[in-house]
Every structure is written in C-alpha cells, then in structure tokens.
Amino acid sequence: MTDEKTKGQLLAEDILTDPKTLGETHNSILSEASEFCEGYKGFLNNKTEREVVEYVIPILKERGYTEYVRGTKYSPGDKFYKVNRNKTILMCTKGKRPVADGLRVSVAHIDSPRLDFKPHPIFEDADMAYFKTHYYGGIKKYQWTTIPLSIRGVVKLANGESVTVRIGEGEDEPALMITDLLIHLAQNQMRKTASEVIEGEQLNILIGSWPFDDEKVKSKVKLAVMNILFEKYGIREGDFESAELCAVPAFKPRDMGLDRSMIAAYGQDDSSCAYAEFMAELDTVEPEYGTVTIFADKEETGSDGVTGMRSFFFRDFIEDLAQDEGCEVRHVLRNSICLSCDVGAAFDPAFGEVFERNNTTYLNRGPILTKYDGSRGKYSTNDASAEMMAYIMGIFRDADIVWQTGELGKIDQGGGGTIASEISVHNIDTVDFGVPVLSMHAPIEVTSKADIYMMYKAVLAVYNSSKPKDF
C-alpha cells in the first residue's frame, strides 16, 4: 500500500467534479453561520411584507441610509432607499462608476403563503364565531388546520385612522385555530385526495364561543367577539371591507436539529434570501458598481399589482437614477446584472422519487444557482445565458463561495417560473439564485444555517466585485 495517487485518481481529480457538503469542506463555518442566523431569526418574526418593510427602515437609517430624493447628486458609497406603498423597498449603495455602466441588482420577495381574510370575514355558526379566509399563494390546505395562528395586518377605519393588528403571537395572547374533523368520523374524509381533504371554504378560523349577554340580540357570539375588536382597535364590521388582514402560523423561529444546524420557521421562502441580500446590502461599503437590493411583494400570486415585480415602479426608479446622471435608462439596464434570489427545493429522501439525483440540489451544499426553471419544455423560464452563468461563477470562485446547481425536480413533475422573468424583461441579464428549503410552503419550513450564511457571502461577493460585464 502506498499513499501515492494513481494515474486514474489524479485524472479524476483534474477533470471530474466531486460535490461535497459545506460540512465536509468548511466544517467550522457552522459557528459563524449560527451567529449570523441569530439576526435572521429576529427578521423572521416579521411575517408580512408590510412588517418586513417597517422593520428594515430604522435599521437602514441607523446604517446611514436616507430616503431617495430625485435630482440628488450621490457620491460613491452613499446609501439610500425608496419605499413603494409600505410593501416593497429598494435599497441602494452608490457605486464608484456612473449608473450608465450598469448596476448590481438582487431581488427577493417578502410575501409568503398565508390565509388572507375575505371582505366579509366574520360569521357565527352553531354558537361559535369564525373568520372566513381566502388562501394566498400555493398551500397544502390540510397543513393549516390545528396549528396556532396569528392575525396580522392593517385596517383603514371609516374615520381615516389606520389600525395595525398583530394578535396571537405573544405567550400571553390567545391562540386562534382552524379545526379539523375527528378521526373517529373521518372515514369519508380519509378517502379524499389530499387537495380535497380540507377545502378552501373550510379554512375558517375559530375566534370565539362565549355570547354577548343580551337576550334580544341575534348572533350573540359574533357580537361579543366583534365588541372585543371594537373596544381594542375601534374596528366595526364594515371596516373589514377596507382591511388587509391575514392569518399566519404563530410559531416562533427556532434552531432545529440536535446539532442546531438548521432553522425551522414560517416564511423562509423567501425571507432566507431577503435577509441574506439585506445583510449584503448593509455591508457593501464603496462598490465599483452601484447596488440595488429589492424586497418585492406579490411573488406568491404571480408578481402582479403595483407592488408586484411586474409593476413599473422598479423601472421608473432606475429611470430616475439614469436621469439624475444624465443618461438613458436603457443603457443602465443593458449593462446591469441581477440575482433573482428565491429559494429552491432541497432533496428530501422521503420523497426521493420526484427528484433526479444527478441534477437535484441538497441541504448544506450552498445556495443554488439555477440556469433555468419553468415547466414542461422549459416554458416560462428566464434561462440565463452561458456568459451570465460563467460571469457569476467566476465571481464566486474568486471569493471562495460554495454554490450548487441543479433543477427543481424531475421533468414534468411540476415546476414553474420565477421573478427572474420579471427582471429580464427589462433587458437585464438575470439568474436565479437561492437557499435550498425542505417543506417549502408548509407552515414551518426548514433551511440550513450554513447555506443562508453562504448566500449572504455570495451576494456580498457580487456587490463587491469590480469585474466588468463583458457580454
């Protein structure tokens, strides 16, 4: 036996790839990653787009960001932000180069699947009061019963006042819940397909059972519950028509695994990417190219609406930046690149049959760089070019970033487009990039701390890179 490598071993090392986990190549990274994720857990307590925007503004101010003012002459390293309707935000660091040379953009979304309230949500049945909901985004409806829920949102009262609601999260606050059928009477239910086991109209949140003490009124429980909302917030039933309320899982973000290597929390699609790019934006000092870090809304329902990524808000802002420096927006866009930061699927051995082993992505192998997604014959995909892939991978190699590439799952198992298409339509070279997640879209999703930390380092590497775009 000799320690000398054989010809075949040496050749294999040279020309074959040998994927390894971060745990193998960077074993000691877990402690740094855990420290990084303490801030992430705080970020995760913000469970709607409005809450995230409200949370980051004071942090931005503390870190020297000011609200963007059109016509201002910004100097390299200056930091500014622009909010869109309290739900999305663009955060920027001015580069040394003029915007005409292009920007380094990253976008993540801050909305997550949840249960929105219907316009007339409150009703009484069998002496119990409920809120009726309409689910937002793609969920397995059965997962949302018998778990504690928290109610979040904003109500615009008839008198012009705006009320912020946040109930059901604190230890001393009441829990709210959707009930499920007892197993003893579930013979028919158990024969249904999973999409019908709980139907949309059964997603009613139980909110009260004790009547208002007055023989002469009808719907006594509804009145009693409505009175609690009226006394606490001044909300009348009619005010629900001008409200944006939703129910989200009331779980707190927690470390997961006996080794605490993972995070279990609601909304990690896409808060894991949002937090990573947010921290990278904050830590970018005086970049060669200006940065634009975007928190988008409405991704889970197709990026429509004025706060979705299809809104002209983004392009109008870039046009303002172009005009401030006396150049054309189309030149800024052509020279820019974008990381469309959204989570990907981590391989789950319990459901191994939906993944194709050679092209799947795994927990703890770093963020996923995805050339294309889409469904069937690559319909509705951005499909980054070889030049764009090589450009980003070159930056990653130079900065010692670990990443992985792959596809979402087996061909024709499902799939879908991403926000990347909404960016590339502006003629910006874009590629998908994101943290692998287990149980995506479930009330509790699982990520790896090391992946999230590496995601942050990767976005920071792109922001810090002075490598010119040569394609």
Residues in touch with Mn ion (CB under 5 A): 269-270, 342
Q: Which residues pair with 124 in a beta bridge?
A: 129
Give the nearest distance from C-beta 377 to Mn ion in angstroms: 23
Q: Residue 220 CB, nearest distance to Mn ion (Å)?
A: 41
Shortest spacing between CB 136 and Mn ion, in angstroms: 11
C-beta closer to Mn ion: residue 98 or 137: 137
Spell 182-202 as b/e; 16+ CB within 10 A means b: eeeeeeeeeeeeeeebbeeeb
Angle between helices 49-62 and 268-283 (to 10 degrees): 10
Smaller CB separation from Mn ion, 30 or 435:
435
Neighbouring CB atoms inside 10 A of 385's CB total 14
| Closer to Mn ion by Cβ: residue 239 or 342 | 342
Q: How far is CA 141 from the centre of its chain?
A: 20
- Which one, 269 or 429, has the nearer CB to Mn ion? 269
Tell me how far, at minimum, the Cβ of 433 lies from Mn ion, in Å. Answer: 12
Spatial neighbors of 442 by CB under 8 A, at least 6 apart, are 140, 143
The conformational region for residue 307 under phi > 0 = left, psi -120 to 50 = alpha, else beta, is: alpha
| Nearer residue to Mn ion within complex by CB, 162 or 380 | 380
The CB-of-112 to Mn ion minimum distance in angstroms stands at 7
Alpha-carbon span 144 to 205, nearest angstrom: 10
For residue 300, the minimal CB distance to Mn ion (Å) is 5
Please tell me the distance from the alpha carbon of residue 131 to that of residue 206, in angstroms, as a whole number. Answer: 7
Give whichever of 101 and 297 is closer to Mn ion, judged by the CB atom.
297
The strands making up 337-341's β-sheet, listed across from edge to edge, are 66-67, 79-84, 88-93, 290-296, 103-109, 337-341, 429-434, 368-370, 404-405
* Cβ within 8 Å of residue 197, ≥6 positions away: 141, 142, 189, 190
Residue closer to Mn ion (CB basis): 139 or 221:
139
Q: For Mn ion, give the closer residue by CB, 148 or 302.
A: 302
227 closest CA partner among 206, 247, 204, 208: 208
**DSSP-assigned letters across all residues of 256-274:** ESTT--EEEETTHHHHHHH
**H/E stretch holding 151:** strand 149-156
* Angle (deg, nearest 10), helices 29-44 and 449-464: 90
15 Cβ contact list (under 8 Å, min separation 6) = none
Least gap, CB of 342 to Mn ion (angstroms) = 4
What is the smallest separation between the CB atom of 463 and Mn ion, expressed in angstroms?
A: 21
Q: Closest separation between CB of residue 269 and Mn ion, Å?
A: 4
User: In the complex with Mn ion, which residue's Cβ is closer, 301 or 385?
Assistant: 301
Burial class of 35 by CB neighbour count within 10 A (0 to 12, 13 to 18, 19+)? exposed
